[in-house]
Structure 1
Amino acid sequence: MNRLAWNGFFIKDYVKSLKTSVGSIINKPSEIGTVVSEMQKFRGSIEGGICVRRIEDFVPETERRYFVVSGKAFAALPDEEVPEIVEECAKRIGSQFFSVDVIERRDGTKRIVEIGDGQVSDIVEWTAERFAQLWLR
C-alpha cells in the first residue's frame, strides 16, 4: 500500500540511478525490490544505501548545472543569475568543489535534483573556457 500517496517513485543508491533494464522509476512501492535487484545485477553492488524520491512534474528542458567553488556558486554564463536555492546549497555544503543540478517544476518551483562531487560531472552547457574561469579567480 502506498501510504505516501505519491504518483511515482525514483529509486537510486547514494551514487547513481539505474539507467538500464527496468530503470529507476516505479509506480508502486512493491516494485522497489525489482529495481534494487537489477541495480545489484548491472552495477555489482548498492553504494551507500537506497534513496527514494517522489516523482514531480518537471520541465525537462529547464535543467541547468551550476558549479560551486570554495562556497561561491557559478552559472554557465557570466551574466546568468544563480538561483537562490543554489546559493543556499553553496552555503550549506562544506566541499570545496561540487556541481548542483536544478530543474523547474511545471508550477515554476526550482528543485535541486542532484548534487555531485564533480568527479563524474560533465560541463553540460558550459564552455571549457567558462569552466576554466572558475579556477582563475
Structure 2
Amino acid sequence: MINQPSQIKTVVAEMQKFRGTIEGGSCVRRIEDFIKETERRYFVLSGKPFAALPDEEIPEIVFECAKRIESQFFSVDVIERRDGTKRIVEIGDGQVSDIIGWTAERFAQLWIDS
C-alpha cells in the first residue's frame, strides 16, 4: 500500500508501465478514520439534492456540492468521520451509480417531481 505522497513517482511509473498513459491525473489524499456504515448516496437533479427518504436530512456539504457542479444529474456519496465531520468520498455522473439505499419508487419520484 502506498501511503506517502513521496511515493507518487512509484505509482506513476507503475501506471505508465501497465496502462501506458494516465487519464485525468492523480490525487493524493489524507487517510481519515471513517465510520463505514454511515456512507449515504444522494442524487442531484437540476441543482437540487435528493435523499433516499423524503424526510431525510441532507448534509450541508451536499448542497454546497450541488451549487458547484454544473452537471444536470449526478450522485454524491457522503460518509462520516469518527469526529462527526461529513466528507464527500465520491461524485459520479449518475450513469454508473446504482440506487443503493434507495427504492426504485423513490428514485423515480425525484424525476417526476422535477
Give the TM-score taking structure 2 as reference length. Answer: 0.86
Distance across 1 between alignment mates of 2:71 and 2:77: 16
**2:5·2:28 contact (CA, 8 Å) conserved in 1?**
no
Q: Report what 1:64 is aligned to.
A: 40
Identity of aligned residues (%): 83
Which protein is richer in helix relative to its size?
A: 2
Quote the Cα distance in structure 1 between the aligned partners of 2:102 and 2:15.
Answer: 31
The change in CA–CA distance for 1:38 and 1:79 in structure 2 (over 3 A counts) is farther
> Which one of the candidate residues 74, 95, 98 is aligned to 1:122?
98
Alignment pair present for 1:46 and 2:43: no
Show structure 2 runs of 5+ residues with no match: none
Provide, for residues 66-122 of structure 1, a one-character-per-residue CA deviation record: whole Å limited to 9, x for no partner. 000001100011111111110111112111101111000000000111111112111
AA aligned opposite 1:110? K
Match of 1:55 among 8, 31, 41: 31
Higher share in strand: 1
What TM-score results when the alignment is normalised by the length of structure 1? 0.73
Aligned to 2:88: 112
AA at the equivalent of 2:58: V
Per the alignment, residue 136 of structure 1 pairs with 112
Structure 1 runs not aligned, ≥5 long: 1-24
Runs of 4+ more than 4 Å apart: 37-40
Amino acid across the alignment from 2:84: G
CA RMSD of aligned residues (A): 1.7
